[in-house]
């Protein structure tokens, strides 16, 4: 397994994969540069196997997990379902690879771009992931 030291968030900048015809969709998934895609309705698609580096943030690809939020998040905000699923997905990846919320980046924080969109609040996402990780770490008392 490769060493993972960060999660990089992106947006597709356009439409919804669920609206594509199946042959077009499967072709896109086969060539996918990301490890996960999150639709506006909250559905998660597995992209590239996590063992294979993505092709989403040049110099950071070898040690990162790429997640793409579907939609143009310069024009729209992520939906409640999309955001909730993203937080759960990112929290799970953080637990699996022993990452912290400070290891979560927007594409724009690593390269010259506005991705993952003007309407994605990265500090809010990090805060929600931190809350989720904290709650999951609390001991169960009977």
pLDDT at 1: 74
Residue 86 CA to its chain's centroid (Å): 6
- pLDDT of 118 > 80? The answer is yes
At 95 the pLDDT is 95
Task: State yes or no: pLDDT of 8 exceeds 80.
Answer: yes
- Going 61 to 66 to 69 to 70, the CA torsion angle's sign is positive
| Averaged pLDDT, 10-30 | 57
- Whether the pLDDT of residue 3 is over 90: the answer is yes
d(CA 22, CA 58): 29
pLDDT of residue 14: 74
Look over the chain and give the mean of its residue pLDDT values, rounded to a whole number.
87
CA distances from 99 to 21, 23, 104 (A): 37, 36, 8
pTM of the model as a whole:
0.86
Consecutive H or E run containing 22: helix 22-30
* Structure token pair of residue 86: 């993203």
**Side by side, which strands form the sheet with 6-11?**
44-46, 36-38, 64-69, 6-11, 104-106
Residue range 72-101: mean pLDDT, rounded: 96
Q: Is the pLDDT of residue 20 over 50?
A: no
Residue 130 pLDDT more than 80?
yes
Round to whole Å and give the CA distance between 90 and 101.
9
pLDDT of residue 4: 97
Position 13 pLDDT exceeds 80: yes
Q: Which has more confidence, 14 or 73? A: 73
CATH class of the 6-137 domain in this structure:
alpha beta
Q: Report which secondary-structure segment, H or E, holds 10.
A: strand 6-11
How would residue 22 be classed by pLDDT, with cut points 50, 70 and 90? very low
In this structure, which long-range contacts are made by residues 128-135, counting pairs with CB atoms below 8 Å and at least 24 apart in sequence?
Answer: 128/83, 128/87, 129/87, 129/90, 129/91, 129/94, 129/101, 129/104, 130/100, 130/101, 132/87, 132/88, 132/91, 133/91, 133/94, 133/95, 133/100, 133/101
């Amino acid at each position: 397994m490769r060493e993972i030291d960060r999660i990089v968030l992106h947006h597709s900048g356009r439409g919804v994969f669920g609206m594509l015809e199946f042959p077009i969709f499967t072709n896109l998934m086969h060539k996918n540069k990301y490890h996960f895609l999150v639709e506006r309705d909250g559905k998660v698609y597995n992209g590239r196997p996590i063992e294979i580096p993505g092709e989403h943030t040049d110099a950071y690809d070898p040690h990162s997990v790429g997640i793409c939020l579907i939609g143009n998040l310069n024009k729209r905000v992520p939906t409640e379902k999309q955001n909730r699923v993203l937080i759960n997905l990112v929290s799970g990846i953080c637990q699996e690879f022993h990452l912290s919320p400070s290891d979560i980046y927007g594409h724009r924080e690593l390269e010259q771009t506005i991705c993952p969109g003007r309407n994605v609040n990265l500090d809010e996402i990090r805060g929600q992931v931190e809350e989720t990780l904290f709650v999951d770490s609390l001991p169960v008392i009977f």
